[in-house]
């Protein structure tokens, strides 16, 4: 028997990873990559940073960790993998185990035989069915060609107004890149908030930060049309009739799996539109595997099939597929908990597992949450604030998800939380988690553990918490609530909520209890800067007979609405 023939269709992330894994496990296999684009192994998650000028050498998007450009010569010399670039796979003949393809620059056709095939055709950018998408100045940021186009616009410095259609990960990252390059950017998001993996109150804090950088965020509004003159974009019309003058519009409303080739070959396609694969990344044809943005995978929390077009998952899936085409079905990809993170100006936003909103949407009825504001490390080490929200199931106490935003170190918290969610930790598992501690890196009790402590207190009935949104709703309705701010007078003078609150600093509270409502059943909402003192105040009030005391979780620093400031 001759050498095994391994063919991979797609050369971005999952495809090259599968090919490289196959080669490492079988030195003598014939491994071929068929790649429609001219480039290979593109670091697409780096496109916004290239566009924004964080680095200037385009080759850094397509080079190895040691700085060698990963072109077809590199793959042949370093890995003995044949990479057919600028070559489109046009059909898969499953019976003959052949891939038909065409070299795009010349039109030359060829047939490549396989024993095992890996499909890694990725995804394509969603384009809304509205007028004007063909205008010059309307683009996506999905390909390296798109990145080159936007980088030229950035370097030329002619465009002054831009619009991002969609407030997801790419949209927010591109907003930062171009705003800092001197283009005034507006993000338009149809949903109630941007970054929909977050709950509203955390996303709103990030949106406030974005607007503090002179960019604009418009939510609850979609794009109705792109308007142009002489074939060039001049404005974007929103669904409410507003027109935003601009010379650049970037469509970033998501992607859809590129499954045309797989569907034509008769492979099973899932209800989400991706190629159906099992835990081995095997398709409905035992000789064909698939990986990356073109597939559906299992959500490890809900068991449901989901699309998860993320670069890290594509690489993990490609590795599994590459191993299984050589060694048989021994490697597994168990699914995703959909962890994500992004940097937007000075803020970082990350999440893992289910948000409260997603949990309710999926039918979880007995959800409990806790929100904290902490410093990521001690103040004497330059600690910066982060807001953390933990979502758990009340009965099982299993942690379902964690979100974190702020200018502090969010990444560390989400990384630890992702393992906790994946490992099905309960709140009790987390409250004594043995995480690394030293002042340059964290508080003695890390913010993630602090949030678990708050959640444990709520589950045990030791603390009654209330979200900032529920507080604002009570204010807007004019509910009969006594709002108690227990910060110091100097803090209060600098910034306050302005909701009719009463200031009694925590250190004076025991001596001034007579100033509180005589009716011990009247609702009192207490808070401070981060609501640590707020919780201590609530303990004092409850010990003295007040029966309806709620702590505003996260405190003043987690308030996403307008505040009164001195001066």
pLDDT tens-digit readout, 72-104 = 999 999 999 999 999 999 999 999 999 999 999
Closest CA to 373 of 205, 172, 144: 205
pTM recorded for the entire structure: 0.95
Place of tokens 């004092």: 540
Q: Are 497 and 485 in contact (CB under 8 A)?
A: yes
- At residue 296, the 3 state secondary structure works out as strand
- What residues form DSSP beta bridges with 5? 30
Helix ranges restricted to H, 441-482: 447-459, 468-477
Q: Are 342 and 195 in contact (CB under 8 A)?
A: yes
Q: Quick one: residue 554, left, alpha or beta (phi over 0 = left, psi -120 to 50 = alpha)?
A: left
Overall average pLDDT of the 257-277 stretch: 98
Per-residue confidence at 566, pLDDT binned at 50, 70, 90?
Answer: low
Contacts of 25 (CB under 8 A, 6+ apart): 322, 323, 326, 327
Overall average pLDDT of the 512-538 stretch: 97
| Domains of the chain, each with CATH number or no CATH | 5-123+256-327 (3.50.50.60), 138-253 (3.50.50.60), 346-459 (3.50.50.60), 465-565 (3.40.250.10)
Q: Tell me the per-residue pLDDT of 454-492, one tens digit each, with 9 for 90 and over.
A: 999 999 999 999 999 999 999 999 999 999 999 999 999
User: Cα–Cα–Cα angle for 81, 84, 88, nearest 5°?
Assistant: 140
pLDDT at 377: 97
DSSP 8-state class, residue 59: G
The Cα-based distances of 387 to 418, 443, 553 in angstroms read 16, 14, 10
**Whole-number Å distance between alpha carbons of 85 and 218:** 41
Contacts of 454 (CB under 8 A, 6+ apart): 370, 371, 372, 463, 465, 535, 553
Q: Tell me the per-residue pLDDT of 349-384, one tens digit each, with 9 for 90 and over.
A: 999 999 999 999 999 999 999 999 999 999 999 999
- Give helix 410-422 / helix 447-459 axis angle, nearest 10°: 50
Q: Tell me the per-residue pLDDT of 207-232, one tens digit each, with 9 for 90 and over.
A: 999 999 999 999 999 999 999 999 99
The Cα-based distances of 159 to 38, 143, 150, 152, 250 in angstroms read 28, 21, 11, 11, 13
**Whole-number Å distance between alpha carbons of 491 and 65:** 48
**Whole-number Å distance between alpha carbons of 434 and 547:** 36
pLDDT at 324: 98
> Mapped to the 3 state alphabet, what secondary structure does 354-375 carry?
CCHHHHHHCCCCCEEEEEEEEE
**Whole-number Å distance between alpha carbons of 535 and 552:** 9
Contacts of 473 (CB under 8 A, 6+ apart): none
Residue 261, pLDDT above cutoff 90:
yes
Secondary-structure breakdown of the chain: helix, strand, coil percentages, each rounded to the nearest 5? 30, 30, 40
Q: Tell me the per-residue pLDDT of 127-177, one tens digit each, with 9 for 90 and over.
A: 999 999 999 999 999 999 999 999 999 999 999 999 999 999 999 999 999
Largest Cα–Cα distance of the chain, in whole Å?
92
Residue 1, pLDDT above cutoff 90:
no
- At residue 519, the 3 state secondary structure works out as coil
pLDDT at 555: 98
Query: Which positions are catalytic?
Result: 45
pLDDT at 565: 78
pLDDT at 532: 96
DSSP 8-state class, residue 63: B
Concatenated DSSP letters for 399-435?
Answer: EEEEEEEESS-HHHHHHHHHHHHHTT-BHHHHHT---
**Whole-number Å distance between alpha carbons of 185 and 215:** 5
Place of tokens 């699914």: 335
Helix ranges restricted to H, 27-142: 47-51, 72-79
**Whole-number Å distance between alpha carbons of 558 and 203:** 11
> Mapped to the 3 state alphabet, what secondary structure does 155-181 carry?
HHCCCCEEEEECCCHHHHHHHHHHHCC
Q: Are 489 and 424 in contact (CB under 8 A)?
A: no
DSSP 8-state class, residue 530: S
The strand pair at 216-218 and 465-466 is best described as: unpaired
pLDDT at 485: 98
User: Cα–Cα–Cα angle for 187, 125, 355, nearest 5°?
Assistant: 60
**Whole-number Å distance between alpha carbons of 126 and 134:** 14
Q: Tell me the per-residue pLDDT of 320-357, one tens digit each, with 9 for 90 and over.
A: 999 999 999 999 999 999 999 999 999 999 999 999 99
Closest CA to 39 of 58, 65, 19, 55: 58
- Give the torsion sign (CA, 426, 428, 429, 433): positive
- At residue 184, the 3 state secondary structure works out as strand
């Amino acid at each position: 028997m001759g050498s095994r023939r391994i063919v991979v269709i797609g050369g971005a992330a999952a495809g090259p990873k599968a090919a490289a894994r196959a080669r490492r496990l079988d030195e003598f296999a014939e491994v071929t990559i068929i790649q429609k684009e001219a480039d290979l192994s593109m670091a697409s998650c780096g496109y916004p940073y290239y566009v924004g000028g964080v680095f200037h050498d385009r080759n850094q998007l397509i080079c190895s960790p040691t700085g060698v450009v990963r072109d077809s010569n590199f793959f042949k010399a370093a890995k003995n993998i044949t990479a057919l670039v600028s070559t489109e796979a046009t059909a898969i003949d499953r019976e003959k185990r052949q891939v038909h393809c065409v070299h795009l620059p010349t039109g030359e056709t060829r047939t490549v035989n396989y024993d095992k095939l890996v499909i890694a055709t990725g995804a394509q950018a969603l384009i809304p069915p509205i007028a004007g998408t063909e205008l010059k100045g309307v683009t996506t940021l999905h390909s390296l060609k798109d990145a080159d186009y936007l980088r030229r616009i950035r370097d030329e410095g002619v465009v002054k107004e831009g619009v991002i259609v969609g407030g997801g990960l790419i949209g927010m990252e591109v907003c930062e890149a171009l705003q800092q390059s001197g283009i005034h950017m507006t993000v338009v998001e149809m949903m109630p908030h941007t970054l929909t993996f977050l709950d509203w109150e955390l996303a709103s804090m990030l949106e406030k930060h974005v607007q503090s950088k002179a960019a604009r965020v418009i939510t609850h509004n979609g794009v109705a049309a792109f308007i142009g003159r002489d074939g060039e974009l001049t404005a974007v019309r929103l669904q409410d009739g507003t027109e935003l003058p601009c010379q650049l519009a970037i469509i970033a409303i998501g992607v859809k799996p590129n499954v045309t080739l797989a569907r034509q070959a008769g492979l099973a396609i899932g209800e989400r539109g991706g190629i159906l694969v099992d835990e081995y990344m095997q398709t409905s044809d035992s000789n064909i595997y698939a990986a990356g943005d073109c597939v559906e995978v299992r959500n490890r929390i809900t068991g449901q099939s989901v699309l998860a077009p993320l670069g890290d998952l594509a690489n993990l899936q490609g590795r599994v597929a590459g191993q299984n085409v050589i060694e048989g079905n021994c490697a597994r990809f168990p699914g995703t908990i959909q962890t994500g993170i992004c940097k937007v100006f000075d803020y970082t936003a990350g999440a893992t597992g289910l948000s409260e909103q997603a949990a309710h949407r999926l039918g979880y009825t007995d959800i409990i949450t806790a929100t904290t504001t902490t410093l990521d490390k001690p103040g004497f080490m330059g600690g910066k604030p982060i807001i953390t929200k933990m979502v758990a199931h009340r009965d099982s106490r299993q942690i379902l998800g964690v979100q974190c935003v702020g200018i502090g170190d969010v990444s560390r918290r989400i990384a630890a939380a992702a393992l906790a969610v994946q490992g099905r930790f309960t709140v009790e598992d987390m409250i004594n988690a043995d995480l690394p501690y030293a002042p340059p890196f964290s508080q003695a009790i890390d913010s993630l553990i602090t949030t678990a402590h708050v959640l444990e207190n709520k589950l045990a009935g030791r603390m009654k918490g209330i979200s900032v949104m529920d507080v604002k709703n009570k204010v807007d309705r004019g509910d009969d609530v006594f709002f108690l701010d227990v910060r110091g007078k100097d803090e209060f003078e600098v910034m306050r909520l302005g909701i009719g609150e009463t200031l009694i600093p925590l250190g004076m509270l025991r001596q001034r209890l007579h100033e509180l409502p005589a009716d011990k059943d009247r609702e009192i909402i207490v808070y401070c800067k981060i609501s640590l003192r707020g919780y201590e105040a609530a303990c004092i009030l409850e010990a003295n007979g007040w029966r309806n005391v709620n702590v505003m979780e996260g405190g003043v620093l987690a308030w996403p609405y307008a505040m009164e400031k001195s001066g």
